[in-house]
Structure 1
Amino acid sequence: MTTSSAPEPVPVRIRVLLPGNQEVVARLCSRRQVRDGWRYEVGLPAYSNGPGDSVEPAEYRVWVRAPDHVRPVDGVSYDAVPTEYLKPSFVEEVLGPRRPSGWVLAKGGGRGPGRGGVVHAVDCEEAPAGAPVLTLERALNAAEQPGVRLCSLCGAAAELDPVLKGFDHGFDET
């Protein structure tokens, strides 16, 4: 049998915002990253009934949404709090991080292809800085204008062409 020499993590103080604008100092036991943010497991001070008519100090543990329901205590370090980070899904592991959504239109000028502009993904290196982000509908409307083309470097063409031309385009009909 082996024993661990690692000390048990000591919960640290944190302020918890309660309903009715009340605030108490509680113990932060652990943190967990979830898809829509963070949850903090806090131990709120309470009392419980003991044997007979006794009343004993107790702790009520609950998961709360951060930062909506918790605030740091000045001078307290939260580095040693046990923290569970969100694990990427299988799809995220295979495909990598998601690209930001939306498209931008780089307005063109002059004559020839692209004179009306080029539709890029928002993170394309060729996309103009500060251009307004277009929704799918607006990007499709822009792409249908004469002289506007879709960027093939960032994948805007691969993403928007099937929607413009129909998903069956390029497949053999049998």
Structure 2
Amino acid sequence: MADTPPEPPLITVILPDEQEVTGRLHERRQTPEGWLYKVSVPAWMLQDGQVVPSWYTVWVQAPAHVKPVKGVSYEAVPTTYLEPPSPVKQTLGPRRESGWVLAKTGDRGPDRGVVHAVDCEEAPTGAPVLTWERALDTAEQPGVRLCPLCGAAAELAPLIKGFDHGFSGE
């Protein structure tokens, strides 16, 4: 004879109209926005022309929509945790979108364009995104300079001038 799994533990579920009902807690899941709990609450349903007791199962936000029942243990409830961010991501923070864009000045004079990082406030919207190779080729053209505000200069200048630039007393 197979063992029947234990009943999920009791939990108090807070309904949208602030009523509180006793339900069952099936699962917990940590999300970037907070915790979600999969709960079932008693309800009624029509089955074969008869109104019969049933369970309505739904995900709710915790702790806004659930409260523990005194004396009930929730240790055995299946729980999914977020993976902690890597130390590298914690230190560096979110990555910016990769690529560069050329802002053409329209001048025929010496200043003909500026290469920006795609997320620079000065970058033109809708301009084609350049790969690093194309950005380097563009930056080496006469009259084109690298934006010092967004980091394009810091990122691309060492590739153009060499990484030793600035270390030999230049």
TM-score (norm 2): 0.54
- For the residue of structure 1 that corresponds to 2:160, the secondary structure is helix
1:126 corresponds in structure 2 to: 122
Q: What residue in structure 2 maps to residue 137 of structure 1? A: 133
Quote the offset at 1:9 in angstroms: 4.0
The TM-score, its normalising length taken from structure 1, stands at: 0.53
User: Which residue does the alignment assign to 2:74?
Assistant: none
In the other structure, the counterpart of 1:108 is 105
Cα offset for 1:30?
5.6
Alignment of 1:21-170 (within 5 A): 77-79=58-60, 82-110=79-107, 112-113=109-110, 115-170=111-166
Q: Structure 1: which 5+ residue stretches go unaligned?
A: 12-28, 34-74
Residues 145 and 32 from structure 1, CA distance in 2 versus in 1: closer, same or farther, beyond 3 angstroms? same
* Amino acid paired to 1:153: L
Give the aligned partner of residue 37 of structure 1: none
Give the CA RMSD over aligned residues.
Answer: 3.2
User: What secondary structure is seen at the aligned counterpart in 1 of 2:168?
Assistant: coil
Among the aligned pairs, what percent are the same residue?
A: 61
Paired residues, number: 110
- Secondary structure in 1 aligned to 2:88? helix
Q: What is the CA-CA distance between 1:112 and the residue it aligns to? A: 4.8
Say which one has the larger Rg: 2
Alpha-carbon distance change, 84 to 153 in structure 1, aligned in 2, over 3 angstroms? same
